[in-house]
Structure formats: C-alpha cells, structure tokens
Amino acid sequence: MRPLPCHLSSDNDPLSRYHRWKANLRILEVSEVKTVPYVPLSHPFVERLIGTIRREYLDHVPFWNSVDLRRKLDDFKTYYNGYRVHHALDGSTPNSGAASEPKRKTQHYGTDWESHCGGLFQLPITA
C-alpha cells in the first residue's frame, strides 16, 4: 500500500475554503499547494497528462454522453497504465513496475496484434 501524499495541489475553487475541507487536510497532515489563478501552466504534469489524453485519444474518438465518455476514459486508462510503454520508465508500463515484468522488446514480436480502446491502438503480442 502506498503512503498518503504530503502535499495536495488544488485550484482556487471556493469549495476548498470550507471548514470540512481544511479539517480533513489537517487530520491527514496534508499541506495544500494552491495554483496561480488563470495560469494553467503552473501544473505542468497535469497539463501534460490532459494534453496526452486529448491528443492521443479524445481527438479521435466521439462520445455521446457522460456515461460513454467515462467508459471510454476507463478503457484509455487501462491501456495507458497497463500496455503503453513510457520512455520515462525506460520502456516499462506504470502498472508493471521496474522489476516485476520484462520490458517489451521489438525483436520478440510475433505477427499477432492486440487491439485496445475500440481498435484505435494496436500492439503486437509478444511471442
């Protein structure tokens, strides 16, 4: 189990000024870091993730309502964390962990392909 975070990044929404919100943060011993108003680039990691989801997935997939969008985002989350390799993780996936699973190597791919996110992404199945 992962330890609780020490910091929480939040915007300047009026809801975060309520007594219960502040009391929960105090009980959990979490300090709140506020964003700079009207400056979306103050959180580059969140902005990069939103951009990745938008560029790689939502720009290519129509959705009809909030239920359909949530289902499709869950599919993309499964693909992104479980199958898509990340350069920053040295070719591993976030779910695999560095030592638990071997990295995907291109020379061991067969001719079969595995489809993800309704056919938008295809990855070779390792032989």
Counts of helices then strands in the chain (DSSP H, E) = 3, 4
In a domain, 37, yes or no: yes
- pLDDT above 70 covers what percent of the chain? 81
Residue 113 phi/psi, 5° resolution?
-125, 145
Helical segments of the chain, H only: 19-28, 44-53, 66-82
Statement: residue 2 has pLDDT above 80: no
- Structural domain including 66 reads 44-126
pLDDT digits (tens, 9 = 90+) for 27-77: 989 888 887 777 766 677 777 888 888 888 888 888 889 899 999 999 988
In a domain, 74, yes or no: yes
Mean pLDDT of 102-114: 60
The CA dihedral of 18, 23, 24, 27, to the nearest 10 degrees, is 170
* 63 and 96 fall within a common domain: yes
- For the record, the structure tokens of 8 come out as 């929480």
Confidence label for 24 from pLDDT (cuts 50, 70 and 90) = confident
Confirm if 85 and 66 have CB atoms less than 8 A apart: no
* 54 and 96 fall within a common domain: yes
Look up the pTM and report it: 0.55
Confidence label for 100 from pLDDT (cuts 50, 70 and 90) = very low
> Structurally, how many domains does the chain consist of?
2
Q: Are strands 109-116 and 31-34 parallel, antiparallel or unpaired?
A: unpaired
Q: Rounded distance, CA 5 to CA 96, Å?
A: 21
* 29 and 67 fall within a common domain: no
pLDDT, residue 99, reads 46
